[in-house]
Structure 1
Amino acid sequence: MGIKNCKLKNKQKNNISLEKNNELIDEKIAYKKIDDTVNKNTIKKSKNSNNLTKNILIGLSILFIGIMLVMPMIVVISYALKNGINSYKDAVFDKYTIKAFKLTIITTITAVGINTFFGLFAAWSVSKFNFKGKHLLTTLIDIPFAISPVIAGLIFILTFGRIGWTNSFLQAHNIKIVFAVPGIILATIFVTFPFILREVLPVLNAQGKDEEEAAALMGAGGFMIFRKITLPHIKWALLYGIILCSARAMGEFGAVSVISGHLRGKTNTLPLHIEILYNEFKLTDAFAVSSILVVLAVIVLILKNIVEYKSKKAGVK
């Protein structure tokens, strides 16, 4: 009987312990369900807050772009066509407008060509060679970004004008820079110089020197190395820099305004011609001529997007 009682007691104890274990397991399962529910609710709330933040930021961006970029373009086009298509044609095909357009294109092509040539040389020398003053050179290249365009124009007037230290030499050789086309080109070159270099330099730094050094050891010349190895790596960055440089050159106002003299038909680019028309209260004509710059800006934007797409497709970061 004693043995049976012990066995019964052990069974009862085992049953009690099993019940307790089951209760603990049930509690753990319940707590886990509560935790899962809380986590799901937290995730849903975070997703909802993230979506709300995303929608607010996207909405603010679209609103800002619409107010600051799209609306002015619409206003320019609407005012340009306010007096009808004939008035628009008269303003756009006016002889002074055509001369200003030609000067703008000549200045842009010249400035971009010179900046491309010297920008490539500067970027190559900075990325491929170590020399004293390397950091100083890269700092000096960024000066046009730090100086106001108006100050840049004054610099050229003080250098090449009547009170400039080069005036006697320029007069002796009958060279005119201030209030002439060469001065406009120089001012535009100064303002737009860093664009191409700053686009090409990171690509050259990322490329390294191994391929050029291997080609040089195999007997390739400098021009062949540049044409066969360097240029294929930087072509999209170079095109992107040329597009940015062109856009900046076409729209330059400050430096050109100071050094040009505002001689109608001689030293007026499109931005200066627009300013003169606006100051003469020919608002419709001013907006009509402004539409030319709007069209040029749209063309530049399309080219920029094409180059960005091609560069991403080619794997250029």
Structure 2
Amino acid sequence: MNERKPSTFGKKSAGTYLRRSIVVAYLFFLVAWPVALVGIKTFDGGLDNLQAAFSDPSVTFALQLTVYVAVWAVAINTVFGVGISLLLVRYDFPGRGVLSALIDLPLSVSPVVVGLALLLAYGGTNGTFGPALESAGLQIAFAPAGIIMATAFVSLPLVIRELVPVLQEIGTDQELAARSLGAGPWQTFRRITLPSIRWALVYGVVLSLARSLGEFGAVKIVSGNIAEQTQTATLVVEEKYQDFEQGSAYATSFLLALIAVAALVLVTILRPKENSDGN
């Protein structure tokens, strides 16, 4: 007669629930609760903080400049992110490993260092290319162009690192088949490659947008932090908080977080629907 072995299902389930509880608690206290406090502080006095922020010209200008910079940075990262990803995956050339390592540089180097490097390269009379650019009528440092460059620099890897694994997974069979049937490079990309990477591209763009909206260190160095000229939303949050105008600081932070979280939630909601259709 075989003896029944004691079931370990209960123990495994208890251990699983314990681990999940630890992870949820960790994320709650590290991420969710601090971000929620920003929203709580924003609406602590009703809509007064939001009204104060929108009635402040420096805040409204900073928000407009932030959106302008983020749109340009995301557009640049989308175009070059797709091109660099295809170059890394589809072609074999000397220095490919070096290029791949350089892409990760913005993730490993402090944004302050990035801003200082751009300032040394393109800034005014002391920059390497600054005098030549200014003589041609182009100002990079302490101007929106420099802010866009700094923002695009720090957020570029987010698009590429989403696209590269997907391009490696889908391979080249369908693309080669399309080319053998007479499709050109652009037609192959538009009808074969792009539909296959669309969700990775969307997610990379959303992450790049969130990173662009929240960039601080590189932008502070290269912009000069001039109110109503080169001051972005993150810089105005610091200034308002230090000047004890905390209501405006809370409201501006809440708006930045709201845009980023809303974009992430929207992608999360829509992505399963797209996958469930089998597309």
Q: TM-score, normalised by structure 2?
A: 0.93
CA–CA separation in structure 2 for the residues paired with 1:187 and 1:87? 30
Mark the structure with the bigger radius of gyration. 1
User: Where do 4+ consecutive residues of structure 1 move more than 4 Å?
Assistant: none
| 8 Å contact from structure 1 (residues 156, 259) kept in 2 | yes
Could you tell me which runs of 5 or more consecutive residues in structure 1 were left unpaired when the two chains were aligned: 1-28
- Asked whether 1:47 is paired with 2:32, we answer no
Residue 262 of structure 1 and its aligned partner are, at CA, apart by 0.9
Match of 1:138 among 100, 109, 118: 100
Instruction: Report what 1:89 is aligned to.
Output: 51
- Counterpart of 2:38, as a letter, is V
CA–CA separation in structure 1 for the residues paired with 2:91 and 2:278? 26
Could you say what the CA RMSD is over the residues aligned between the two structures, in angstroms?
A: 1.7
Instruction: Report what 2:27 is aligned to.
Output: 65
Instruction: Report what 1:105 is aligned to.
Output: 67
| 8 Å contact from structure 1 (residues 196, 242) kept in 2 | yes
Residue 315 of structure 1 and its aligned partner are, at CA, apart by 6.0
CA–CA separation in structure 2 for the residues paired with 1:73 and 1:208? 40
Paired residues, number: 278
- Asked whether 1:295 is paired with 2:258, we answer yes
CA–CA separation in structure 2 for the residues paired with 1:190 and 1:66? 30
SS at match of 1:213: helix
Match of 1:215 among 175, 178, 186: 178
Instruction: Report what 1:255 is aligned to.
Output: 218
- Counterpart of 2:189, as a letter, is F
Equivalences for residues 1-317 of structure 1 within 5 A:
29=1, 32=2, 35-36=3-4, 39=5, 41=6, 43=7, 46-161=8-123, 162-310=125-273, 312-313=275-276
More helix as a share of residues: 1
SS at match of 1:309: helix
The Cα offsets for residues 223-247 of structure 1, whole Å up to 9 and x where unpaired, read as: 1111111111111111111111111
Instruction: Report what 1:5 is aligned to.
Output: none
The Cα offsets for residues 196-253 of structure 1, whole Å up to 9 and x where unpaired, read as: 1111111111121222222222221111111111111111111111111111111111
| 8 Å contact from structure 1 (residues 236, 307) kept in 2 | no
CA–CA separation in structure 2 for the residues paired with 1:119 and 1:297? 20
- Counterpart of 2:253, as a letter, is S
CA–CA separation in structure 1 for the residues paired with 2:273 and 2:82? 21
Instruction: Report what 1:22 is aligned to.
Output: none
The structure-2 alpha-carbon separation of the partners of 1:74 and 1:119, relative to structure 1 and needing over 3 Å to count, comes to: closer
The structure-2 alpha-carbon separation of the partners of 1:74 and 1:208, relative to structure 1 and needing over 3 Å to count, comes to: closer
